[in-house]
Structure 1
Amino acid sequence: MTSTAPLAPTTSPSPTAATTPTPPGAPTLDDRIAGALVGAAVGDALGGPVEGRSPEQITARHGGRITGIVGPWDGDDWRTARPIAPYHKGDGHVTDDTLMTHALVRVYGKVRGHLDAYAVADHLVPEMIGAPRWIPELEAEALPLQRVFLAEKWIVARLHYGHVDPREAGSGNIVNCGAAMYMAPVGLVNAAHPQAAYAEAIDVAGAHQSSYGREAAGVFAAGVAAACAPGATPATVVEACLSLAKDGTRAAIEAVCETASRHQDVESALVPLRAAVAPFDTVGPDYRAPSLGARRPSRLHAIEELPVALGMLLAAGGDYRQSVLGAVNYGRDCDSIATMSGALAGALHGERAVPADWAATVAEASRLDLRAPARTLAGVAREVFARDTARRRAHEAAFAALAGTP
């Protein structure tokens, strides 16, 4: 399923004031949550088999740009081929991005409220080590801990074994996209409120990451929340991210999105977006051989994945298919990039934007109900909003009494 044809974008609606009622036929809250979570999982599965490769390698391997779900890079030798073995990446299998996202949704389902770093210690860690689950890439039941990367194993080591203060547990971990990749649920619970999503994600991610890795988690959650707002567009999503992003993360998003704005399709943006983010990326040109200074804390740098995901969203005009395929064909950490771009585009347009055949294949191959997490999270989001509203009104009344205002 490959093609050498350029990937053309679709247009997106003009920005709409936040007070404008949602027009008939526009995505509902439930639809946007489903679109974001299903869209993230599908993007993850599409990007998995070519993770770590360059656009040139991807084109050579697949005879052109990838246009759908593909098999493992090494074919039937995936069980032993390095550096991927023993993971079956491809054929619609999701990776740790989706496993962690769904685990966080289950935490929300238990807490039924806002999360913080302590919720990671009390609930996410048990999700990782408490019971075996089907792991698509291992084609077996195993503890999620046995699949996640070292940066995620850090959570268990620091919180379960080290008993570190959850708010500080992320310090010392490598700085990568590990926390950002599964923060979409935070944005969805705080739908249409980017500032609240950012603050909550920064708190949650403190148990996992520090520096620009933690910052990216907050900004990505904010972007997802902004994408849920009625009338949202790729431009308003980027604006919301820039209004909150700090230091190198903000600078990287500005540079990448300014470059993306000059392109009308993701095909032409592949190389320019990499050039735009390169000054902020510590990994270096060879993704499989990171530089000596890679993934260290810094106020000048940023993870690569979030700025590129936003850039793809802009270049594709918000179209789900093109945003995700642009992320996949970009290569490098493309499963995480496609996870983020898929969540953003899905939140913008709802589940109908996600190709149904892709979603069906991923659900069957991964043995996952991709919609069940969305149903859980939609219920939690409504409960959280009701309690937030009650607290806000109580505060308004208390402040009015203190200030002597009617």
Structure 2
Amino acid sequence: MTDTAAPPTTTATPTGPSLADRTAGALAGAAVGDALGGPVEGWSPEQIRERHGGPVRGIVGPWYEDWRTARPLAPYHKGDGHVTDDTLMTHALIRVYEQVRDHLDAYAVAEHLVPDLMTQPLLGEEDALQGQRLGLQLGDPAGVIVNCGAAMYMAPVGLVNAGDPRGAYAEALDVAGAHQSSYGREAAGVLAASVAAACTPGATPASVVDAALALAKDGTRTAIEAVCEVAVKYEEFEPALPQLRGAVSPFDTVGPEYRRPSLGARRPSRLHSIEELPIALGLLLIGDGDYRETVLGAVNYGRDCDSIATMSGALVGALGHPVPAEWTTAVSEASRLDLKAPADALTAVAREIHHRDLARRRAHEAAFAALTEVR
């Protein structure tokens, strides 16, 4: 690669939060949402309220005290501010961007992401267990998995393509093609597009949903429409949760029992959608930019709530709304993760990629002008 010069300076006056602010907010928002949702993943809103004496309002401990041996929970530490595979995959993808320093595709996943997951240390004593879980995300080279395993960590693609939802959508579809198909892959594209749209100066939750609907296809689009038609009727998450579940259930192949998926779960279909993305967008509308209302809505929804909270947290952060500092600090310390360094690195890479995009665009414009010049 020869076009490695520093990006040109600009005299434009920044409008609202900067790219660095939005990137830091999105990544911190995703990690905190992941950590908040992890300990209650798989349970219903009713079970969550019974276990915690009401809705979860912050960081809580594991569902079971004997979490190391409890079943059917994954045998690693969920709770007390610990992130899950959603955040670890997100940070792994950022490391791939740091290596490639350009747009990614499925080959980048094969050549960089898989080796990274095999060699990078994760979370100390739980490394082996976390690594096993991460391996499941990329465990099918035929690309026939259909779940939220790609959408949950696709926010960096949206941040690299900040302000360009269509570009983010196309890149995410390519990246996700290494291990997802059908509506699982589609959700990855739409989530990335939504994050890119959220980075646009002046963006609102409503404009983010509009951008998602402009690109979403098939059952994913219909599910987002159905959920968001319900969401706009509510200003608080608690009364909305059963209605949101009712709206998405016709499109969800997992079925009513999250831990006992139906026979049709995760099969390719043009009629269905993963549950997590439409719910995250619906809660974004209900929260109207407030991080606590949006992400706590995702957490108390239950089911795959760590992934829902990861997605909704990334969207609120990309909009430039603050993530509670006390949660960010607690999650960073508990998970032994530096949440600032990945954001700084991704911001620098995004600037480099944009510079290359400008150079490529200008070369194309010059070539096209020469081809169409009147002689």
Aligned length: 364
Asked if the contact 1:283–1:291 (Cα under 8 Å) also holds between the matched residues in 2, the reply is yes
The 3 A distance-change label for structure 1 pair 389 and 79 is: same
Deviation at 1:388, TM superposition (A): 0.1
Partner residue of 1:30 out of 15, 20, 32 = 20
Residues 99-146 of structure 1: per-residue CA shift (max 9 Å, x gap):
1000000000000000000000000010111243325xxx43438532
Note if 1:125 corresponds to 2:114.
yes
Aligned AA for 1:112?
R
Asked if the contact 2:76–2:130 (Cα under 8 Å) also holds between the matched residues in 1, the reply is no
TM-score of the pair, normalised by structure 2: 0.94
CA distance in 2 between counterparts of 1:377 and 1:334 reads 26
The 3 A distance-change label for structure 1 pair 74 and 243 is: same
CA distance in 2 between counterparts of 1:362 and 1:144 reads 17
Indicate the residue corresponding to 1:336 in structure 2.
Answer: 307
Asked if the contact 2:122–2:131 (Cα under 8 Å) also holds between the matched residues in 1, the reply is no
Equivalent positions of 1:1-400 (< 5 A) are: 22-23=14-15, 26-75=16-65, 77-134=66-123, 139-142=125-128, 145-148=131-134, 150=136, 152-155=137-140, 158=141, 169-170=142-143, 172-173=144-145, 175-350=146-321, 353-400=322-369
State the secondary structure of the residue aligned to 2:123: strand
Aligned AA for 1:127?
D
Asked if the contact 1:128–1:143 (Cα under 8 Å) also holds between the matched residues in 2, the reply is no
Deviation at 1:219, TM superposition (A): 0.3
Asked if the contact 1:232–1:348 (Cα under 8 Å) also holds between the matched residues in 2, the reply is yes
State the secondary structure of the residue aligned to 1:360: helix
Asked if the contact 1:36–1:344 (Cα under 8 Å) also holds between the matched residues in 2, the reply is yes
Asked if the contact 1:131–1:143 (Cα under 8 Å) also holds between the matched residues in 2, the reply is no
State the secondary structure of the residue aligned to 1:91: coil
Residues 138-181 of structure 1: per-residue CA shift (max 9 Å, x gap):
x434385323263x1415xx2xxxxxxxxxx31x32x1100110
TM-score of the pair, normalised by structure 1: 0.87
Indicate the residue corresponding to 1:11 in structure 2.
Answer: none
Asked if the contact 1:191–1:229 (Cα under 8 Å) also holds between the matched residues in 2, the reply is yes
CA distance in 1 between counterparts of 2:44 and 2:330 reads 25
Deviation at 1:397, TM superposition (A): 1.4
Sequence identity, in percent?
72
Asked if the contact 1:45–1:95 (Cα under 8 Å) also holds between the matched residues in 2, the reply is yes
CA distance in 1 between counterparts of 2:340 and 2:214 reads 31
Aligned AA for 1:43?
G
Asked if the contact 1:212–1:249 (Cα under 8 Å) also holds between the matched residues in 2, the reply is yes
Deviation at 1:85, TM superposition (A): 4.6
CA distance in 1 between counterparts of 2:61 and 2:348 reads 36
State the secondary structure of the residue aligned to 1:147: helix
Deviation at 1:223, TM superposition (A): 0.2
The 3 A distance-change label for structure 1 pair 387 and 241 is: same
Asked if the contact 1:34–1:375 (Cα under 8 Å) also holds between the matched residues in 2, the reply is yes
Residues 50-77 of structure 1: per-residue CA shift (max 9 Å, x gap):
00000000000000010100000012x1
Asked if the contact 2:117–2:131 (Cα under 8 Å) also holds between the matched residues in 1, the reply is yes
The 3 A distance-change label for structure 1 pair 333 and 405 is: farther
Residues 197-240 of structure 1: per-residue CA shift (max 9 Å, x gap):
00000000000100000000000000000000000000110010
CA distance in 2 between counterparts of 1:115 and 1:144 reads 24
CA distance in 2 between counterparts of 1:405 and 1:263 reads 58
C-alpha RMSD of the superposition: 1.5
Aligned AA for 2:360?
R
The 3 A distance-change label for structure 1 pair 85 and 241 is: closer
Deviation at 1:371, TM superposition (A): 1.1
Structure 2, gaps ≥5 residues long: 1-11
Residues 244-275 of structure 1: per-residue CA shift (max 9 Å, x gap):
00000000001001110111111221111000
CA distance in 1 between counterparts of 2:374 and 2:284 reads 45
Indicate the residue corresponding to 1:10 in structure 2.
Answer: none
